[in-house]
């Protein structure tokens, strides 16, 4: 089983290459990504967070929104309306900060069966998808911090919800 790489691993700051073929290796990596994300209590994971420079990510916020297994995801539109929320990242243990992101995005991707999918997502799901697609573009969330938040403050904010 692969391990999550931590910053400053170079794989996190280099744009990933597209998936060109839906192979057994790609499907196996998708399966492994889901297992690792769930075992780490994450809501999203990009392949380059496992040291694989390939454009794919998994997102599962909760059972209601379901699982998104995304190959070559791309944001094709985003709202002008933005939200400010505190984010964390599995590749930055113990690091949290306030990030401004679009409140709504439309994402186009290919699913594990080879079908092109287009989804309109809002709120937390939009935030998670933007965070994962940033990873695939070699962008790190700390570069977008408006304000860094301590781990204690992050935990306190979570208790208030």
CA nearest 84: which of 107, 110, 102, 59? 102
CA distances from 109 to 1, 19, 91, 145, 160 (A): 26, 11, 23, 27, 35
What backbone torsions phi and psi does residue 152 show, to the nearest 5 degrees? -65, -45
Select which of 38, 116, 132, 153 is catalytic: 132
Backbone angles phi, psi at 28, to 5 degrees: -65, -40
Lookup: tokens for 21? 């073929």
The yes-or-no answer on residue 151 being catalytic is no
Query: Does 135 show up as a binding residue in the annotation?
Result: yes
Return the structure tokens found at 28: 């196996």
Determine if residue 6 is labeled as part of a ligand binding site.
no
Binding site for Fe cation, by residue number, is 89, 131, 135
- Residues with a catalytic annotation lie at 132
């Amino acid at each position: 089983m692969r391990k999550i790489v931590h910053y400053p691993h170079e794989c996190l700051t280099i744009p990933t290459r597209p998936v060109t073929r839906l192979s057994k290796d790609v499907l196996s990596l998708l399966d492994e990504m889901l297992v690792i994300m769930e075992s780490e209590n994450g809501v999203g994971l990009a392949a380059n967070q496992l040291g694989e420079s390939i454009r794919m990510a998994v997102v599962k916020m909760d059972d209601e929104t379901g699982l998104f297994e995304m190959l070559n995801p791309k944001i094709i539109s985003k709202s002008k309306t933005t939200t400010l929320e505190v984010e964390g990242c599995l590749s930055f243990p113990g690091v949290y900060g306030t990030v401004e992101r679009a409140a709504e995005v439309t994402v186009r991707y290919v699913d594990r069966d080879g079908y092109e999918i287009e989804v309109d997502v809002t709120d937390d799901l939009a935030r998670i998808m933007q965070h994962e697609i940033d990873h695939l573009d070699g962008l790190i969330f700390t570069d977008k911090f408006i304000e860094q938040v301590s781990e204690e403050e992050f935990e306190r904010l979570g208790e208030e919800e």
